[in-house]
Structure 1
């Protein structure tokens, strides 16, 4: 297990903290807003931390917030792609019929045979 040394004289970047908290909120209470804030503030925090040349801490917080934000975007994209595919009606050809009928119609019609 690695230990992380925290220097109390180095300030933690505020944008990194905001990104981390927003990344968690993006998965829980504020899905859209939290995700956007996590990504934007995470990028800003990493830029500021790199520009400080070691005078600021919080790179791990910023990276975690950034990853949480982008992971949420990826999951949302997969859901938006998969939802129309998963909700399409299933079509089956019943024995003795030439036309395709939707599965829900075949199950719900009283004279249908399996």
Structure 2
């Protein structure tokens, strides 16, 4: 199992996390389509952390035998959710994209002060 961890704060550009993720995905030898989908999922999850938390969090990507696990951890007690798309609203479609591009996704609420909330996508 191979993994990467990237600390995030409010000022971390999603493009930086995306470049780090891209290098890992290429090293892992994933197909172009899996890479493209994983990078979009990574971008959306990182943008959620940097936009909706005060103290940042962490991006973690893990190569598994049958999947790539993409997780973001943060301390925001509010969990992200899939919103109904409104045609005239800009934004609000990130988790809908994550849900549509991943084989499975889930949220794990914090169970104590040291356990961060997580969102993940597997492809």
Q: TM (normalized to structure 2)? A: 0.26
TM-score (norm 1): 0.27
- Choose between structure 1 and 2: higher strand proportion: 2
Greater gyration radius = 1
Whichever structure has more helix as a proportion of its residues is 1
